[in-house]
Structure 1
């Protein structure tokens, strides 16, 4: 699917994204901008706030039942300090995918879900070098967890894109 007519704004968008995500963990946005440099470190993959809140960026895969690829949410997960440090130790290590999954809490408010997605329980599996960690949600009846287990349609991908584009 290349483009789509947006039900929210009535415009045609050039393409339907198969990957969307949050630029930073939600806690990042609560730190006043003037204090961020002193209190927080944010890279493309990791974030530490006040030396006591530790986050990594991973992928939530939603199988697309009527498509060729999965839809991917890039999302931030909080880890314990020990698990964050262990993930850092393994960051450039071959075979790191053999490490047991880390428990984490989802820390990205993904649009288009009610109830919201903050603080859902997850497991974060380190993947081979060059791949972001894989986030698996606890198997609950939350819509995001159900979509991860059961898959979504391209029509749902369009709904997600509309929610992401237009809040």
Structure 2
């Protein structure tokens, strides 16, 4: 019920040797100029209590990234206002590019990845987040992801 990207689309393995770059399971910095956090675009599954999740990366401003790091392990961090960001993960299953969709990253309790809310546009991913998907769509996504790997 979930698929994830291991790094933002702009990450390159050559950045591993750059002292101003880093990639962890939840945060990424590229050349001390681009800042990312990992979160979940959650989509309700119609007719069930289930939720399908895309694990994605969102770029944040330097200030928002610094604030997110400041409260990363702080109890009550879910009271933070959402951080504006740009989706930095291309989900090839969608006919329109998902890169650079506008988002709000909502911090959740310590140990949980942020909830990534897409701007309510007509993009197919944003529509699915608002309206939900069927179990057949979940199977379609699973088949597409598994056959692409």
TM-score bucket of the superposed structures, by smaller chain = over 0.9
Map of 1:40 onto structure 2: 21
Map of 1:78 onto structure 2: 59
Q: Is 1:140 matched with 2:140?
A: no
Deviations 1:59-84 (A, max 9, x none): 11100003331001100000000000
1:104-143 mapped onto 2 (5 Å cutoff): 104-143=85-124
The separation in 2 between residues aligned to 1:68 and 1:123, in whole angstroms, is 23
Residue aligned with 1:58, SS: strand
1:77-96 mapped onto 2 (5 Å cutoff): 77-96=58-77
Residue aligned with 1:75, SS: strand
The separation in 1 between residues aligned to 2:14 and 2:99, in whole angstroms, is 25
Deviations 1:147-166 (A, max 9, x none): 00000001101111122122
The separation in 2 between residues aligned to 1:34 and 1:141, in whole angstroms, is 36
The number of residue pairs the alignment matches comes to 147
Q: Which has the larger radius of gyration?
A: 1
Q: 38, 43, 46: which one pairs with 1:57?
A: 38
Q: Is 1:153 matched with 2:107?
A: no
Change (3 A) 1:146 1:91: same
> What CA RMSD, in Å, does the superposition of the two structures yield over aligned residues?
1.1
Map of 2:6 onto structure 1: 23
Contact 1:62 1:71 in 2 (8 A): yes
> 5+ unaligned residues in a row in structure 2: which ranges?
none
- What is the deviation of 1:35? 4.4
Question: TM-score with structure 1 length normalisation?
Answer: 0.84
